[in-house]
Amino acid sequence: MLPFAAARRRAAPRVAALLVALAVPLPAQDAALRDRLRQHVEVLASPDFAGRGTGQHGFERAAAYVSEQMARIGLEPLGDDGTYRQAVPWTRVEGDPAQCRVRGEAGGEVVELAPGPDFAGRVWFDQDATGAPLDVRVPADGDVALDAEEARGKVLLVELTGADLDARFAGPDGAAAWTALQAKLRAPGPAAVLFVDDARARRLGGLEGTTAPGRGSPTRGAERRPNELFVSRAARDRLLALGAGATVRVAIVLREAPAPACNVVGRLRGADEAARDEHVVIGCHLDHLGVKDGVVYPGADDDASGTAAVLALAEAFAAAPDRPRRSLVFVAFCGEEVGLQGSRHFVHHCPVPLPSIVAELQLDMIGRSEEGAHETREQNANSLHLIGTEKLSADLHRLCVELNRAAGGFALEWDQEDVFWRSDHVNFARMGVPVAFFFTGFHADYHQPTDTADKIEWDKLERVTRYVQAVARRLADDEERPHVDQAAWRKHREALRGPVEPAAPLRR
């Protein structure tokens, strides 16, 4: 995570005010547009969508929702096989619930735990271990006093006393302490370690696996790490009640399968036959962090806000009596949170020719005002970061600044250019497509479970949506498209790892 910027440079007026008559108005009443934006954000950030983690079931539900909205609006599907979904290869590895068990036996008596609230965890590798159960209590200071001879070959049932795991091992320091504790417990060579924690076992509710882009196991070649397994206190007591001579077998069997990952993409054809084969791309990322350690990360601002705006813009342009000259492509990318994977796949398997893309407008975190250690939300109520426009195309930059004077009215800021590399527009810039990244800034709920819909500033989200609509309209209607500046391409091509010639026309 990059630090908040301390210094700010406000955009100075560079051009005279431009009076713009928007031919494709969004709903005339603020309340109408805000209600639509609110609807989309509240749905996408709801518990039913479980944080929209790429490869997780919540992402599948989100992709279905956006597809349904694009169909309702009447967009042309640009995904695979006549659908709105462009599949992105993704793999999920998880514990097979039919084969994963904790099984205790003694004198013909059996205690068997299937994945669920009594036996849960995070798993990365197959595991098959058997040993006698050993009750281990670790005090609040985390000091492990194990008899190495006694612990070797046993199945440790470890309860941390004095505080729960969440409180003790929160934050970066806590993560390091948790790793150190696991190392101490495994140093004597136990057969397996089961942590006793009602809250964690109940919250996980089963064996949480991992997902990764591409085909093949996400754990293949990964750094060796132990499975983290939890049982409830009641389950621990049942295992210990088996008495002398008991053995406990811990069996983890992983299964590998394709995971849900796709870009959702639709097109609104332009009205001008001579210009409709050129495209303005309006993008967002549909995914967020999903479920981690049993905790849902809703991602209301990041980036349900951008997704809501993309859908609202598609609906407004589709309903307009006079469509723009060029075509508009609306796309919600997957895998942004794990390395911009969806947009990378998109530009390398583009459903429209890359040279036909006039510009890509990226909407990511546009629903909150920036706040941090040295600035308040109130101080940034009218601020908007415009990122990346100056890197490739002076034409696009001038257009965005001009339209802000006429249709946005924001205090534009240029102090977050270091965030340029952190959203999906980067993959378009790498190919030499002019880009503009609209971003209202970081806040304390960034990448936290507290990024919820009730904290969205609906008036600001509505204003950003209207501003981007004005930019998209001009890009789609102007006779001349933005050019990439030769000097800028020479300067940034190596860092972008771009081709020799940009996809967009070059101004020499």
> 144-157: per-residue pLDDT in tens?
778 888 999 999 99
Rounded distance between C-alpha atoms, residue 500 and residue 39, angstroms: 44
Residue 467 and residue 346 in one domain: yes
How crowded is residue 169: how many other Cβ atoms within 10 Å of its Cβ? 18
Establish whether the linkage from the previous residue to 30 is cis, with ω within 30° of 0: no
Tokens of 327: 């075509």
Do residues 44 and 143 both lie within one domain? no
Whole-angstrom distance, CA of residue 379 vs CA of residue 356: 40
Percentage of residues in the chain having pLDDT higher than 90: 73
Total domains in the chain come to: 2
Dist CA 450 CA 452 (whole Å)? 5
Across 12-16, 161-165, 268-272, 458-462, least confident range: 12-16
CB–CB of 424/362 below 8 Å? yes
Confidence band (pLDDT; 50, 70, 90) for 165?
A: low
- The answer to whether residue 222 scores a pLDDT higher than 60 is no
The confidence score (pLDDT) of residue 325 equals: 97
pLDDT in tens, 231-285: 999 999 999 999 989 999 999 999 988 899 999 999 999 999 999 999 999 999 9
Contact 95, 114 (CB under 8 A): no
Query: Within a domain: residue 7?
Result: no
Give the residue-averaged pLDDT of 492-503.
Answer: 91
> pTM of the entire structure?
0.84
Kindly state whether residues 417 and 376 are assigned to the same domain.
yes
Give the pLDDT confidence of 116-126 residue by residue, as tens digits: 999 999 998 89
Stated as kind and residue range, the H or E segment containing 41 is helix 30-44
Let me know whether 110 and 56 are in one domain.
Answer: no
CATH number, domain with residue 141:
3.50.30
Structure tokens at 47: 């518990």
- On the 0-12 / 13-18 / 19+ scale of CB atoms within 10 A, 411 is middle
The boundaries of the domain holding residue 110 are: 93-257
DSSP state, residue 123: -
Out of 234, 257, 280, pick the residue that ends a domain: 257
Q: How far apart are CA 87 and CA 240, in angstroms?
A: 48
* 282 plus 196 within the same structural domain: no
| Best CA proximity match to 51, nearest among 247, 238, 291, 342 | 291
pLDDT at 499 over 50: yes
d(CA 314, CA 73) in angstroms, rounded, equals: 7
Residue 385: CB atoms within 10 Å? 25
Residue 222 within a domain: yes
174 and 72 in one domain? no
Q: What confidence tier does 306 reach under pLDDT thresholds 50, 70, 90?
A: very high
With respect to residue 402, please indicate whether it lies within any of the assigned structural domains.
Answer: yes
Q: Using pLDDT thresholds of 50, 70 and 90, give the confidence band for residue 212.
A: confident
pLDDT-derived band of residue 82, with 50, 70 and 90 as boundaries?
Answer: very high
Residue 11 belongs to some domain of the structure: no
pLDDT in tens, 339-392: 999 999 999 999 999 999 999 999 999 999 999 888 899 999 999 999 999 999
Question: 82 and 124: one domain?
Answer: no
Report the C-alpha gap between 337 and 340 in whole angstroms. Answer: 7
Listed residues 257, 290, 307: the one ending a domain: 257
Banded model confidence at residue 90, pLDDT cuts 50, 70, 90: very high
Residue type, 411: A
Both 382 and 453 in one domain: the answer is: yes
To the nearest whole number, what is the mean pLDDT of the chain?
A: 89
Q: Is the pLDDT of residue 7 over 60?
A: no
State the pLDDT at residue 209.
86
Closest residue by Cα to residue 57 from 295, 293, 260 = 260
Contact of 132 with 125, CB cutoff 8 Å? no
Take residue 296 and report the two structure tokens written for it: 């849902």
Residue 218's pLDDT is 67
Contact call for residues 310 and 465 (beta carbons, < 8 A): no
How far is 475 from 371, CA to CA, in rounded Å? 32
